[in-house]
Structure 1
Amino acid sequence: GPSFPHPNCALSPGLDIHFIHVKPPQLPSGRNPKPLLMVHGWPGSFYEFYKIIPLLTDPKAHGLSDEHVFEVICPSIPGYGFSEASSKKGFNSVATARIFYKLMSRLGFQKFYIQGGDWGSLICTNMAQMVPNHVKGLHLNMAFLSRSIYTLTPLLGKRFGRFLGYTERDIELIYPFKEKVFNNLMRETGYLHIQATKPDTVAIAFTEPGHPVCFPRKFSLEDLLTNIMIYWTTGTIVSSQRFYKENLGQGIMVNRHEKMKVFVPTGFSAFPSEIRHAPEKWVKVKYPKLISYSYMERGGHFAAFEEPKLLAQDIRKFVSLAELQ
Structure 2
Amino acid sequence: MDTRNPRGVTGAFADFIRENRISNRRSRVDRRENWEWATIFKMSKNLVVLSVLGGIVFLVYRYSCQNCQPRKPPTLDMNEWWGPEHLKTVRDESVKPFKVNFTPDMVKDLKERLSKARKWTPPLEGVAFEYGFNSKVLEKVLDYWRNSYKFEEREKFLNSYPHFTTSIQGLNMHFIRVKPDVTKGVEVLPLLLVHGWPGSVREFYEIIPMLTTKRPDRNFVFEVVIPSLPGYGFSEGAVRPGLGAAKISVMMKNLMQRLGHKKFYVQGGDWGSAVVASLATLYPEDILGHHTNFAVVQTSCTLMKTILGSFYPSWVVDDKLADRMYPLSKFFAYIMEEFGYMHLQATKPDTVGVALNDSPSGLAAYILEKFSTWTVSDYKHLPDGGLTKKFTLDQLIDNLMIYWSTSSITTSVRLYAEEMSAKNRALDLGSVPTPVPTWALQAKYELMYQPPGILKEKFTNLLNTTVLEEGGHFIAFEMPGVLADDIFAAVSAFRDWHRNKAKEVKTEL
**Same fold per superposition (TM over 0.5):** yes
- TM-aligned CA distance change 1:174 to 1:256, over 3 Å: closer
Partner deviation per Cα, 1:126-156 (whole Å, 9 max, x = no partner): 1112221111000011134124355434444
Instruction: Report if aligned partners of 1:196, 1:248 keep a CA contact under 8 Å in 2.
Output: yes
Q: Does 1:287 align with 2:459?
A: yes
Correspondence for 1:24:
180
Counterpart AA for 1:95: K
Q: Does 1:97 align with 2:249?
A: yes
Q: Residues 175-194 of structure 1 correspond to what in structure 2 (within 5 A)? A: 175-179=326-330, 181-194=331-344
Partner deviation per Cα, 1:141-192 (whole Å, 9 max, x = no partner): 1134124355434444667222x1411232131233322x212222221111
Instruction: Report if aligned partners of 1:146, 1:253 keep a CA contact under 8 Å in 2.
Output: no
- Alpha-carbon offset, residue 29 of structure 1: 2.3
Counterpart AA for 1:295: V
CA distance in 2, matches of 1:199, 1:301: 22
Which deviates more from structure 2 when the two are superposed, residues 185-194 or residues 69-78? 185-194
- SS of 1:34's partner is strand
Q: Percent identity?
A: 39
CA distance in 2, matches of 1:168, 1:256: 31
Instruction: Report if aligned partners of 1:138, 1:266 keep a CA contact under 8 Å in 2.
Output: yes
Larger RCO, structure (CA 8 Å, separation 6 or more)? 1
Length-normalised TM-score, structure 2: 0.60
- TM-aligned CA distance change 1:133 to 1:157, over 3 Å: closer
Correspondence for 1:119:
271
CA distance in 2, matches of 1:246, 1:156: 31
Q: Does 1:262 align with 2:434?
A: yes
- Alpha-carbon offset, residue 53 of structure 1: 0.9
More helix by share: 2
Which deviates more from structure 2 when the two are superposed, residues 79-88 or residues 147-156? 147-156
Question: How many residue pairs were aligned?
Answer: 318
Q: Residues 72-221 of structure 1 correspond to what in structure 2 (within 5 A)? A: 72-149=224-301, 151-156=303-308, 160-162=312-314, 164-179=315-330, 181-209=331-359, 210-211=361-362, 213=365, 216-217=387-388, 218-221=390-393
Instruction: Report if aligned partners of 1:197, 1:249 keep a CA contact under 8 Å in 2.
Output: no
Q: Residues 241-256 of structure 1 correspond to what in structure 2 (within 5 A)? A: 241-250=413-422, 253-256=425-428
CA distance in 1, matches of 2:277, 2:293: 12
Partner deviation per Cα, 1:211-264 (whole Å, 9 max, x = no partner): 372562322111110001101000100000111101113288532323212110
| Match 2:486 to one of 295, 307, 314 | 314
Which deviates more from structure 2 when the two are superposed, residues 265-274 or residues 201-210? 201-210
CA distance in 1, matches of 2:223, 2:420: 33
- 4+ aligned runs moved over 6 Å, structure 1: none
Length-normalised TM-score, structure 1: 0.92
Instruction: Report if aligned partners of 1:188, 1:275 keep a CA contact under 8 Å in 2.
Output: no
Q: CA RMSD in A?
A: 2.0
| Match 1:41 to one of 193, 196, 217 | 196
Counterpart AA for 1:168: D
Partner deviation per Cα, 1:12-46 (whole Å, 9 max, x = no partner): x2211100001113x24222211100000011111
CA distance in 2, matches of 1:21, 1:192: 31
CA distance in 1, matches of 2:309, 2:275: 33
- SS of 1:286's partner is coil
- TM-aligned CA distance change 1:233 to 1:40, over 3 Å: same
Instruction: Report if aligned partners of 1:253, 1:259 keep a CA contact under 8 Å in 2.
Output: no
Instruction: Report if aligned partners of 2:295, 2:442 keep a CA contact under 8 Å in 1.
Output: no
Correspondence for 2:450:
278
- SS of 1:227's partner is helix
- SS of 2:456's partner is helix
- Alpha-carbon offset, residue 66 of structure 1: 4.0
- TM-aligned CA distance change 1:248 to 1:35, over 3 Å: same
| Match 1:55 to one of 201, 210, 213 | 210
- SS of 1:324's partner is helix
Larger radius of gyration: 2
- TM-aligned CA distance change 1:207 to 1:134, over 3 Å: same
- SS of 2:496's partner is coil
CA distance in 1, matches of 2:298, 2:346: 18
- TM-aligned CA distance change 1:66 to 1:189, over 3 Å: same
- SS of 1:80's partner is coil
CA distance in 2, matches of 1:51, 1:306: 9
- SS of 2:236's partner is coil
Structure 1 residue runs of 5 or longer lacking an equivalent are none
